[in-house]
Chains A and B, each alone.
Chain A
Amino acid sequence: MSLELRRVSASGSPAPGVRTVPDVTKLVDTSTCIGCKACEVACQEWNDLPPETTVQTGTYQTLPNTTAHFWNLIKFNEHDDQSGALRWLMRKDQCMHCTEPGCLIACPAPGAIVQYANGIVDFQQDQCIGCGYCITGCPFDVPKFNPQTRRVYKCTLCIDRVSVGLQPACVKACPTSCLQFGTKDAMLEVANRRVDQLKASGFAQAAVYDPPGVGGTGVVTVLAFGDQPELYGLPRNPTVPAAVTFWKGPLKWIGNLGMLGGLAIAAIHYVRFGRKADPDVDHSPTPTAQRPSRHKSTSDENL
Chain B
Amino acid sequence: MEASAPRIVRYTFRERVVHLAAALSYVYLLLTGLAFWTPAMYWLAVVLGGGYLSRVLHPWVGLVFSGAVAIMYAIWRRDMRTTDADRAWRKAVLHYIRNEDAKVPPASRFNFGQKQLFWIMVGGGLALLLSGLVLWFVAFMPWELRALRYAAVLVHAVAALVTIAGFIVHLYMGLLVVPGGLSAILHGTVSERWARHHHPLWLADRPQSGVVSGFSRTDDDVRSQL
Residues of A whose CB lies within 8 Å of any CB of B are 10-12, 106, 108-110, 127-133, 135-136, 141, 144-145, 147, 150, 152, 241-244, 246-247, 251-252, 254-256, 258-259, 262-263, 266, 269-270, 273-281, 291, 293-299, 302
Q: How far is the CB of A269 from chain B (nearest CB, A)?
A: 7
Cα of A297 to Cα of B172 in the assembled complex, Å: 20
- How would residues 130 to 150 of chain B score, 1 for a CB under 8 Å from any chain A CB and 0 otherwise? 000001001100010010011
Are B52 and A279 in contact, with the CB atoms below 8 A? no
Q: List 20 A-B contacts (CB under 8 A).
A: A129-B51, A130-B55, A135-B139, A135-B149, A136-B146, A136-B153, A144-B139, A147-B139, A150-B56, A152-B139, A254-B161, A255-B161, A269-B97, A273-B99, A274-B99, A275-B178, A279-B191, A297-B99, A297-B103, A299-B98
Tell me whether B169 and A266 are in contact (CB under 8 A).
yes
Q: How far is the CA of A262 from the CA of B52 in the complex (A)?
A: 29
- With contacts A10-B42, A243-B153 taken as known, whether A276 is within 8 angstroms of B177 at the C-beta atoms is yes
Give the residues from 81 to 110 in chain B that come closer than 8 angstroms, CB to CB, to chain A.
Answer: 97-103
Complex CA gap A144/B138 in Å reads 11
Task: Tell me whether A278 and B157 are in contact in the complex, defined as CB-CB below 8 angstroms, given that A131-B55, A241-B150, A252-B38 are known contacts.
Answer: no
The 6 A-B pairs with the shortest beta carbon distances in the complex, nearest first, are A145-B139, A243-B150, A279-B197, A299-B99, A278-B179, A129-B51
Residue in B135, B143, B157, B198 with the greatest tally of chain A CB atoms within 10 Å: B157
Q: How far is the CB of A5 from chain B (nearest CB, A)?
A: 15
Residues of A within 8 A of B55 (CB): 129-131, 150
Q: How far is the CA of A144 from the CA of B169 in the complex (A)?
A: 41
- Is the pair A263, B168 in contact by a Cβ cutoff of 8 Å? yes
The answer on a CB contact under 8 Å between A279 and B198 is yes
List residues of chain A with CB within 8 A of the CB of B178. 275-276
B35 surroundings in chain A (CB, below 8 A): 108
Q: Does B63 contact A (CB under 8 A)?
A: no
List of A residues within 8 angstroms of B152 by Cβ = 136
Partner of B194, one of A10, A133, A280: A280
Sample of 10 more A-B contacts, CB < 8 Å, known A108-B51, A262-B164: A108-B39, A110-B42, A129-B51, A132-B135, A132-B138, A133-B153, A136-B150, A277-B179, A280-B1, A293-B196
User: Does B206 count as interface, using CB distance less than 8 angstroms?
Assistant: no
Per-residue 0/1 for B176-190: is the Cβ within 8 Å of any A Cβ (1 yes, 0 no)? 111110000000000
In the complex, what distance in Å separates the CA atom of A299 from the CA atom of B97? Answer: 10
Nearest to B147 among chain A residues (CB) is A243
Q: Is the CB of B157 within 8 A of A255?
A: yes
Interchain CB contact under 8 A, A277 and B101: yes
Instruction: Kindly list chain A residues whose C-beta atoms are within 8 Å of the C-beta of B169.
Output: 262, 266
Check: B193 CB closer than 8 A to any chain A CB.
yes
Give the chain A neighbours of B172 by CB distance below 8 A. Answer: 266, 269-270
Measured CA separation A242–B197 after assembly (Å) = 51
Q: Does B36 contact A (CB under 8 A)?
A: yes
Inter-subunit contact B37/A108 (CB<8 Å): yes
Given A244-B153, A247-B157, answer yes or no on A131-B36 (Cβ-Cβ < 8 Å): yes
Closest to A272 in B: B98
Contact call B154/A273, Cβ cutoff below 8 A: no
CA gap between A297 and B50 in the complex, in Å: 48
B20 at the interface (CB under 8 A from A): no
Which residues from chain A contact B179 at a C-beta distance below 8 Å? 275-278, 280-281
Name the distance in Å between B224's Cβ and chain A's nearest Cβ.
23
With the chains together, A279 CA to B203 CA distance in Å?
Answer: 14
Report if B48 contacts A (CB, 8 A).
no
Establish whether residues A135 and B154, one from each chain, have CB atoms under 8 Å apart when the complex forms: no
Q: How many angstroms from the CA of A244 to the CA of B191 in the assembled complex? A: 51
Residue B158, interface by CB 8 Å = yes
Distance, CA A131 to CA B59, complexed state (A):
11
- Known interface pairs A275-B177, A280-B1. Does A246 touch B193 (Cβ–Cβ under 8 Å)? no
| A residues in contact with B200, CB < 8 Å | 294
Complex: A130 Cα to B57 Cα, angstroms:
12
A195 to B193, CA, bound (A): 86
**A129–B54 touching, CB < 8 Å:** yes
A254 cross-chain contacts in B, Cβ below 8 A: 161
The interface centre, meaning the residue of B56, B152, B177 with most chain A CB atoms within 10 A of its CB, is: B177
Residues of B within 8 A of A291 (CB): 193
B24 within 8 A of A: no
Q: Does B74 contact A (CB under 8 A)?
A: no
